[in-house]
Amino acid sequence: MKFSTFTIFSSHLLLATSLPLSTNPATGIVSRNGGTSSGAVKDLGITKRTPAEAAAGEGAAGGAEGGGAEEGAAGEQEIEGQFTVPVRLGGANVKQDVLFPPGRNGRFEVEFQNAVGRTLTVTENRNPAAPPPGFTAVEPVSYKINLAEGAQGVTLSKVDYIINPGNALDISKGQIGRLFPELNAFIIDPALGELEFEAEENELTLTVANMNGEFAVFLPQAAGAGNATG
């Protein structure tokens, strides 16, 4: 790898966050970062996530434009989003989960919480880069996330993938990779953020410092036989 490419690659990963590993058997949530680790990302310094400052008068009102919203636990909102359609997310630190139409095996979800709202657009890439070596894609698409007003410093940013009801595909050892355009390659690494598998929801979730970018879901090849796309 050329030095210039390595420098760009490293600077991008400095935006990611790496959190401690933990396991909570009571909730069925397994926190792990057991993906492949590229030599280029070893011993990187990781920037800490810092909440954005609250804007006066900014609240949750006006959120969820472009998608139907339902109230969840403790005032959380669940929003039905559509690909390529902007969704206005509210502020006031109200947690909002935006669910997108189901794919072959599951559906993509974005979790957002912040003092100041944002405008979210998610687009499917139907011609994504190849999976990392040793992995197979769970879906034939990847997902491009754009928070129009910026994604750095948001209080909560999560990228999720939830298996469709009745689908027997096991994603407990799955990984969520991020595309690095300079390499035209998806990278799987603990430096991207904290990866969890929530058994009760059959869901993979990746907490990131900046969600603007392209993501895809992968399984180790031995575990990806069957419904995964290969």
In the DSSP assignment, the letter for residue 3 is H
Tell me what the pLDDT averaged over the chain comes to: 79
Residue 221 pLDDT greater than 50, yes or no: yes
pLDDT tens track for 126-152: 999 999 999 999 999 999 999 999 999
CA-wise closest residue to 156 among 191, 110, 189: 110
Residue 182 pLDDT greater than 70, yes or no: yes
Query: What long-range pairs does 184-188 form, CB within 8 A, spacing at least 24?
Result: 184/129, 185/129, 185/130, 185/132, 186/128, 186/129, 186/130, 186/131, 186/132, 186/142, 186/216, 186/218, 187/13, 187/38, 187/41, 187/132, 188/35, 188/36, 188/132, 188/135, 188/218
Stretch 71-83: mean pLDDT? 83
CA atoms of 195 and 30, how far apart (whole Å): 9
pLDDT at res. 222: 79
Q: Domain coordinates of the chain in residue numbers?
A: 3-38+59-220
**pTM passes above 0.75:** no
Residue type, 84: T
pLDDT tens track for 110-122: 999 999 999 999 9
Residues of the chain with pLDDT > 90: what percent?
63
In the DSSP assignment, the letter for residue 199 is T
The larger pLDDT score, comparing residue 220 to residue 73, is at 220
Residues β-bridged to residue 180: 185
The larger pLDDT score, comparing residue 174 to residue 34, is at 174
